[in-house]
Amino acid sequence: MNKLTLRFGEPENITPPGDDYHVVYRFPFSAIDSELIGSPEEARMATSHRLVVKITPSRRAGWRVSESELRKELFEIGLRVIVEKAKRGNLSAEEQVVVNASTHSSTVPFDPSRIVEPDGAIVVVEKENRRIGF
């Protein structure tokens, strides 16, 4: 039970109508112990999660990327947060990440052509061994 498999579903732009402050994407995913994949208890043991990533208009404007590139950038930013939490074994039902001028520079952080499409993405995370005692 040292690996966790994350499976991502179809992302959704959930920006509320008339919201001029953020663009918000939700990336649903499930998490399952990798050893249980293909087993009879896989469906019962998989947990459902949501990654919600928000970006401010000023940061969005500075990046100058298309909507599909923005979705991929936000996915990659959020994925890195999710992976770190999964390594430590403390994923929540919903994880939220905010991208703004204090968290990210005015330069787009990743090459969108090298980011996988979120829908259908599978990520395997090696869980950290927890030490018990001193």
In a domain, 110, yes or no: yes
H-assigned helices in 9-128: 42-45, 57-63, 67-88
Read off the pLDDT of each residue in 15-21 and give the average, rounded to a whole number.
82
How is residue 33 written in tokens? 């112990």
Question: Is residue 23, in this structure, part of any structural domain at all?
Answer: yes
What does the mean pLDDT of the chain come to? 93
Q: 56 in a domain, yes or no?
A: yes
Number of structural domains (the chain) is 1
Whether 28 maps to a domain, the answer reads yes
118 domain-assigned: yes
pTM of the predicted protein model: 0.91
Segment 64-86, tens digit of pLDDT: 999 999 999 999 999 999 999 99
What pLDDT is stored for residue 126 in this prediction? 94
- Residue 86's domain comprises 3-126
Rounded alpha-carbon distances, angstroms, from residue 134 to 106, 130, 131: 43, 11, 8
* 95-117 pLDDT per residue, tens: 999 999 999 988 999 999 999 99
If pLDDT is split at 50, 70 and 90, which confidence band does 1 have?
low
Would residue 132 count as lying in a domain?
Answer: no
Residue 133 located in a structural domain: no
Q: CB-based contacts of 129: which residues, under 8 Å, 6+ apart?
A: 2
Is residue 134 a part of any domain in this protein?
no
